[in-house]
Amino acid sequence: MDEELKRKIEKIYKDTEVEFPERNRMVVKTKKASILSILEFLKREGFRQLKAISCVDWIKECEFELIYHLAPLNSPLHIMVKIRIERKNAETETILKIFENAKVYEREIHELFGVKFKGNPDLSPLFLENWHDLPPFRKDFDTRKYVKKTFDEIPSVEDRNERT
C-alpha cells in the first residue's frame, strides 16, 4: 500500500518528494502552493484524521516549516506533509475547508510563531494575554531576557527575611 501511494503522489504532484525515514512513517515534502490539493487527495485516500500541525523555526535558513500530521484509522502508516514558508511576513493558506479541526492548531501556531493563515476567521490569542513581545516560540525570542525584564523588575512588598 505504501509504495503504491508513493507512486501515485509522485505521479500527480511533480514537485513533491516522498520518503520513508523509518517504518510506518512517510514524509511528503511539497511546495506551499500545492498543500491544499495534496491534503485533499490524501483525505480521499483514507487519511481522514488530522492529528496535529507542528511548526519548526529554521532561523538559519530564514524559514518556517509547517508539518501536517495525518493518519488513517486501522493502519499504522503516519504521514507528515511538510511545507516551507518564508520567515518574513510568514503567511499561508488555511486548511479549514479540508480539516475542520485545523482551526485550533492554526490559532496556536499563529500565536506562538506568528504565522498568518489566510482565510481562518479566528486567529485571536489562545494562551497569552496582553502579549506585546515577539511570538514566544520563535528562536530569536530570548525567554531568560524577557523574564529579567518583566518579573525581576517588580520590587518585593515585604522583606522575606524579616518574617520567619
- 94 with 87: CB under 8 angstroms? no
DSSP of 23-87: TTEEEEE--GGGHHHHHHHHHHTT--EEEEEEEEEETTTTEEEEEEEEE-TT---EEEEEEEEES
Interface pick for another protein out of 41, 84, 116, 137 (rule CB under 8 A): 137
Q: Is residue 29 a contact point for another protein (CB under 8 A)?
A: no
Q: Is residue 130 a contact point for another protein (CB under 8 A)?
A: yes
User: H or E stretch including 10?
Assistant: helix 2-12
Grid cell, residue 110, equals: 499563529
In the region spanning residues 46 to 65, those forming contacts with another protein, defined by CB under 8 A, are 48-52, 54-57
Q: Is residue 162 a contact point for another protein (CB under 8 A)?
A: no
Interface pick for another protein out of 9, 66, 99, 114 (rule CB under 8 A): 99
Interface pick for another protein out of 78, 93, 96, 116 (rule CB under 8 A): 78
Contacts for 14 with CB less than 8 Å, ≥ 6 apart: none
Interaction site with another protein (CB under 8 A): 21-22, 24-25, 48-52, 54-57, 67, 69, 73-76, 78, 80, 99-101, 103-104, 125-130, 133, 136-137, 141, 143-144, 146-147, 150-158, 160, 163
